[in-house]
Amino acid sequence: MTAAATALAVMFAIVAIGTAVGFLAGSRQRMDLEQWTVGGRRFGTVLVFLLMAGEAYTTFSFLGVSGWAYSRGAPVLYVLAYITLAYVTSFFILPQLWELGRRHRLQTQPDFFNTRYRNRYLTAFVCVVGILAFIPYVQLQLVGVGIIVSVASFGHIGPAPAMAAAAALVVAFVFANGVRAVAWVSVVKDFLMIVAAVAIGVGIPLVHFGGIGAMFHALAHLHPQHLVMPGATTNLGHSWFISTVLLSALGSYMWPHLFGTAFTARSADTLRRNAVVMPLYTLTLALMFFAGFAAVLTVPHLRDGDLAVLIAAQQIFPPWFLGVIGGAGALTAMVPAAILILTAATLFAKNLCRPLLAPTLTDDGVARLARVMVVLLGAVSLALAIHGSSTIVSLLLTAYAVMAQCFPGVVLGLYWGRVSGRGVFVGMIVGVVTAASLMAAHRDPVFGLNAGFVGLCVNLAVTVCASLLFPAKELAAASAAHAGATPSAE
């Protein structure tokens, strides 16, 4: 067999196994809405761990992190800090959300806003923001599959067919088995991804320099400025680092799909245990840093930094192992794409369509509509990915900054009785507009600070002030509605 055929065969086998696991995962369960979206709320520590790891480690960790290490240098360290601190944040939010989810049968993030604030417009706004933010996210995953498969197949499969195949598989297993499929495909994906990360992160420095330490010594000698902030950039210094780490650490769990994992768990304790151990998984990401830094020396002057590690890997590994890397990379993009599509479809059917257009729809009707949306969203993302421009990354960064604006609404909603729906609504709009307009005007970072973080600070200030100014009516209405709606909750 030729090199390309070997790599392709291995890659196909891996994707086939991963997908088969997704189809088998929930085949014995009846798939009602509760089962499809939150796995019947029965996931134990291990499944929640796999689901969260599957969601947290996307193509961004595979290509983006090494790409940043290659093209920007030390500022990429923000990733290690923010992912670890996001788990710390989750420790103090998710168990409480789980408790509310159990009492009020919450399945999605807008469910929380709806139950807490009783404000239809706020809920719809959160919902629309979530769905819009998801689209560049799914698109980026598919573009990642295209890149990985075409490099690993030595250019024999173009990005477009690879993206189409990946999108079709994702839609199929989400359609059939919902969140349970995603958790189980994660098992295959995580195992392979660790194998690939160790091989790449240790292998590339070892072959070219004789070890990781020797590689860093060479880099510190030749390009010392690359290894401290602001690295190869001019404006990503320490204030940028602090503001970006804070925004990302506080904002991560505001993504509706990560927020939703809180409701899949069997107990609040499961979520706490997970938050304790999850940071250790970030260690695998450090390996991608080694690979990206090594590529600075071994494959210098590439125009597209995202390709650096794949090209460096192509130089040293045999074709069959390139197939393993390609398969792992493809699954690494498909698992998050699956959960994103699943969440967006549920948000659309349950939180946007039913309350505004079809109030008589039953839960089974919502589940059917959500499945139709899975197919539609898969098709839209695929079309965008194929015809997409190079601005997806900047769209995604904007989406991150915008999504984080839910933070005051969630945290104050949990812990501060006086916060009002109107306050949160006004604060969120101000925060979203601030962050999005600064980024659209290319003023990120602004005065050395992350634009999303600036938006978050303004948002928080406005939310608190507006809640103090207009509390009474909302507070009375909310507590009355609460007392009426759920007499048995307390």
Partner 1 sequence: MHVKPPSLAALALGAVPFVAMCFSVALWDRIQPMILGVPFNLCWLILWIVLTPCFLWLAYRIEAAADRSREHGS
Q: CA-CA distance, 151 to 310, in Å (whole number)?
A: 7
Nearer to partner 1, 111 or 338 (CB): 111
Nearer to partner 1, 32 or 99 (CB): 99
Q: CA-CA distance, 54 to 37, in Å (whole number)?
A: 16
Say whether 449 sits in a helix, a strand or coil. Answer: strand
Interhelix angle 159-209/45-56, nearest 10 degrees: 90
- Mention every residue, 6+ apart, whose C-beta is less than 8 A from residue 167: 142, 337, 378, 379, 381, 382, 385
Q: CA-CA distance, 29 to 35, in Å (whole number)?
A: 8
Q: CA-CA distance, 223 to 296, in Å (whole number)?
A: 9
User: CB of residue 330 vs partner 1: minimum separation in angstroms?
Assistant: 27
Residue 416: phi and psi, rounded to 5, are -130, 110
Nearer to partner 1, 155 or 224 (CB): 224
Nearer to partner 1, 84 or 459 (CB): 84
Name the site residues for partner 1 (rule: CB under 8 A). Answer: 74, 77, 80-81, 84-85, 87-88, 91-92, 95-96, 99-100, 115-116, 211-217, 220, 224, 227-229, 238, 241-242, 245-246, 249, 268-269, 272-273, 275-277, 279-280, 282-283, 286, 289, 413-415, 417, 478, 482, 490
Bridge partner list, 446: 449
Amino acid code (one letter) for 117:
Y
Nearer to partner 1, 16 or 92 (CB): 92
Amino acid code (one letter) for 369:
L
User: CB of residue 59 vs partner 1: minimum separation in angstroms?
Assistant: 21
Q: CA-CA distance, 198 to 185, in Å (whole number)?
A: 20
User: CB of residue 76 vs partner 1: minimum separation in angstroms?
Assistant: 10
User: CB of residue 438 vs partner 1: minimum separation in angstroms?
Assistant: 21
Q: CA-CA distance, 39 to 24, in Å (whole number)?
A: 14
Closest CA to 331 of 196, 201, 200: 196
User: CB of residue 247 vs partner 1: minimum separation in angstroms?
Assistant: 11
Say whether 22 sits in a helix, a strand or coil. Answer: helix
Answer whether 303's CB lies under 8 Å from 390's CB. no
For 424, half-sphere exposure in the C-beta direction (CA atoms, 13 angstrom radius) is 29
Nearer to partner 1, 95 or 159 (CB): 95
* 190 alpha-carbon distance from chain centroid: 15
Torsion over CA: 154, 159, 164, 168 (sign): positive
Nearer to partner 1, 366 or 419 (CB): 419
Nearer to partner 1, 100 or 166 (CB): 100
User: CB of residue 362 vs partner 1: minimum separation in angstroms?
Assistant: 26
User: CB of residue 310 vs partner 1: minimum separation in angstroms?
Assistant: 22
Nearer to partner 1, 23 or 91 (CB): 91
Q: CA-CA distance, 427 to 409, in Å (whole number)?
A: 9
For 171, half-sphere exposure in the C-beta direction (CA atoms, 13 angstrom radius) is 20
Nearer to partner 1, 128 or 242 (CB): 242
User: CB of residue 249 vs partner 1: minimum separation in angstroms?
Assistant: 7
User: CB of residue 138 vs partner 1: minimum separation in angstroms?
Assistant: 29
Answer whether 110's CB lies under 8 Å from 130's CB. yes
Nearer to partner 1, 20 or 214 (CB): 214
User: CB of residue 404 vs partner 1: minimum separation in angstroms?
Assistant: 15
Residue 30: phi and psi, rounded to 5, are -80, 130
| Number of Cβ within a 10 Å radius of residue 85 | 17
User: CB of residue 305 vs partner 1: minimum separation in angstroms?
Assistant: 18
